[in-house]
Amino acid sequence: MIYDPPKPVIKIRNLVKSFGPFTALSGISLDINPSEVVCIIGPSGSGKSTLLRCTAFLEEYTSGEVEIEGRLLGYRKTPAGMVRESERNIDTARRNVGMVFQHFNLWPHMTVLDNVTLGPRLTKGVPAAEVSEKGRIALAKVGLADFTDRYPSRLSGGQQQRVAIARALAMEPHVILFDEPTSALDPQLVGEVLDVMKQLANEGITMVVVTHEMGFAAQVANRVVFMDRGQVVEQGSPDKLFNEPESPRLQEFLDTWRQRNLLFRSEPQQLVAAC
Amino acid sequence: MTQVFELWIEYWPMLAAGLATTAWICALATMIGIAVGLLLACLDGARSTILRRTVRAYIEIMRGLPILILLFVLYYGGPGIGLRLNAETVGVLGLGFYGAAYFAEIFRSGFHSIPKGQIEAARMAGLSAGQIMRHVKLPQMLALITPPMVNQIIILIKESAVLSIITVAELTKNTAQFVNETYAVVGPYLAAALLYWLLVEAVALLGRTVERMVRY
């Protein structure tokens, strides 16, 4: 029997992104396979978000390739080199990619249901009633079935982010990119968003999550990718990465994180002593 | 004072005709100004550098130019390059394309008020540039740009008085005629002032209504 490896949903090859003289990504290669949950961790400025944004082509990459389900995103190969695709073709190529942003980015002038259904209504050519029904189902999935007619400004941050997740789900994407989905939330609201994400992971939705939530990465990820200075330094199972880190940079990163966590959990006296 | 009223009544048809001309010229010019201004503001956000520079150049030139010079060039210089337009057409086009530069700046500030993240979310939801404009940008910026738009329309109405210089029989021109025929000065200009104020107030009222409607 011939082993047929799964075709990656996202295939990234030698991805480079420069902002003027600054190189944010220096040659990243990464595959995301169907039903995989990949968490990307790393210090601030390591290029995690830039990688995600290039994968969605919200940021034009400088060189390399991003393929979504076998289709090159953003550029077209010609004998003369890579030529930028038309906006329409870019929209088609990333039709199956959903995204959830750090700052939710809901549209404040629309109700929660309209936020969730605008994309499908305008782009999928499905009857309005069906779109509405699917929107309600998506909202129910994130636990906000009773909030359809509210405006985003009347919701808590956690609820807003769950609406944003429902909005991504309503497009029925094959992969969802999460760009630090809990970083803008008050600590007590982080849990409700992570719970929804865990549930999606259990349902087999392919997810790429840039996060600072190590606990989430350890529990939910199939694979953790550690980035630093625009490179993938180390990747592997959460168990391996968190318990037997190989590279000194990852060890250092995890040490810093553990120390900070220790400080947060300490009693005031210990905190003073630690300082 | 009774004399003034008698004059007003006698010359009412002339004043009314002038007011009507001012009103329709300004209405058409506003429509052109808003349509071209929106187009300019959209092109200003285009990816092409040449397009963006052309738009910037247009806006800078129009803003740097007194409207009277633009009207003179169009009306008296036009025939020299085979552009023979009647005075009303010059008035509509002149005021419209002149106003467009200002409307474009208002739209531009409106676009800037929409957080970039919302546009990115719309792109990830598969919306085209036109759909983003229609469903995400315009509805949110309408409340914000209505007051400066109304302001700009009012300025346009008052600037339309210079059309009297290129022989358009609008309110100012007809009032001057009224002065010439009666040798009265204060009475006719007071009438003109009241009628301009009426027109401006009507626009302001319309603006307030729109403002209430577009608030979400």
A171 inside 8 A of chain B by CB: yes
Q: What is the mean pLDDT of residues A124-147?
A: 92
Q: What is the pLDDT of residue A266?
A: 53
Chain A residues with CB-CB distance to B120 below 8 A:
58, 99, 101, 105
What is the dihedral sign for C-alpha A140, A104, A100, A161? negative
Say if A172 is an interface residue toward chain B (CB within 8 Å): no
Residue B127 touches partner A, C-beta closer than 8 Å: yes
Lowest-pLDDT choice from A89-98, A112-121, B71-80: B71-80
pLDDT at A80 (0 to 100): 85
Q: Does A94 touch chain B (CB under 8 A)?
A: yes
The answer to whether the Cβ–Cβ distance between B120 and A118 falls below 8 Å is: no
Angle at the Cα of A162 (from A161 to A166), degrees rounded to 5?
115
Q: Regarding beta strands A37-41 and A206-210, do their DSSP bridges make them parallel or antiparallel, or are they unpaired?
A: parallel
Residue B133: list chain A partners with CB under 8 A: none
Q: According to the model, what pLDDT value does residue B77 have?
A: 85
Check whether A264 has a pLDDT greater than 80. no
Q: Which of A154-158, B41-45, B87-91 has the lowest mean pLDDT?
A: B41-45
pLDDT of A180-213, one tens digit each? 999 999 988 999 999 999 999 999 999 999 999 9
How far CA A197 is from CA of A50, A182, B35, B167, B186, in Å, comes to: 21, 11, 45, 71, 76
Residue A178 binned pLDDT confidence (cut-offs 50, 70, 90): very high
Q: Where are the beta strands (DSSP E) in A75-193?
A: 75-78, 81-84, 97-100, 175-179
Which residue type occupies A47?
Answer: G
pLDDT value, residue A1: 55
Name the more confident of A83 and B184.
Answer: A83
- Indicate whether B48 pLDDT > 90: no
Residue A259 banded pLDDT, cuts 50, 70, 90:
confident
Sort A185 into a burial class: Cβ within 10 Å, 0-12 / 13-18 / 19+.
buried
pLDDT at A265 exceeding the cut of 70: no
Whether the CB of B125 is below 8 Å from some CB of chain A: the reply is: yes
B120 contacts A105? CB cut-off 8 A:
yes
Query: What's the mean pLDDT in B133-159?
Result: 92
What the block records as the tokens of A211 is 């996060």
Is A76's pLDDT higher than 50? Answer: yes
Instruction: Give the pLDDT of residue A87.
Output: 86
CA distance B145 to chain A (A): 15
A108 to chain B, any CB pair closer than 8 A? The answer is yes
From the list B115, B131, B140, which residue is nearest A122 (CB)?
B131
Q: How far is CA A152 from CA A14, A124, B34, in A?
A: 39, 24, 31
Extract long-range pairs of A226-229: CB within 8 Å, 24+ residues apart: A226/A41, A226/A42, A226/A250, A226/A253, A227/A28, A227/A40, A227/A41, A227/A42, A227/A46, A227/A47, A227/A48, A227/A51, A228/A42, A228/A43, A228/A46, A228/A253, A229/A26, A229/A46, A229/A47
Whole-structure pTM value: 0.83
Segment A235-249 mean pLDDT:
93
Band of residue B211 on the pLDDT scale cut at 50, 70, 90: confident
pLDDT at A272 over 60: no
Residue B46 has pLDDT above 80, yes or no: no
Please give the residue that has the higher pLDDT: either B183 or B126: B126
- Report chain B's mean pLDDT, rounded to a whole number: 90
Condensed to tens digits (0 to 9), the pLDDT of residues B159-196 reads 999 999 988 989 999 888 888 888 888 888 999 999 99
Contact B140 A122 (CB under 8 A): no
Does the model's ipTM exceed the 0.85 cut?
yes
| Total CB pairs under 8 A between chain A and B | 62
Q: Which of residues 136-165 of B touch A (CB under 8 A)?
A: 136, 139-140
The predicted pLDDT at position B70 comes to 92
Q: Is residue A170's pLDDT more than 70?
A: yes
* Distance from C-alpha of A260 to C-alpha of A252, rounded to nearest angstrom: 12
Averaged pLDDT, A151-176: 95
Above pLDDT 70, what percent of chain B?
99
Contact B139 A95 (CB under 8 A): no
**pLDDT single digits (tens) A217-232:** 999 999 999 999 999 9
Tokens standing for residue A239: 């168990």
Identify the band that residue A274 occupies on the pLDDT scale cut at 50, 70 and 90.
very low
Least CB–CB distance from A101: residue in B117, B131, B135: B117
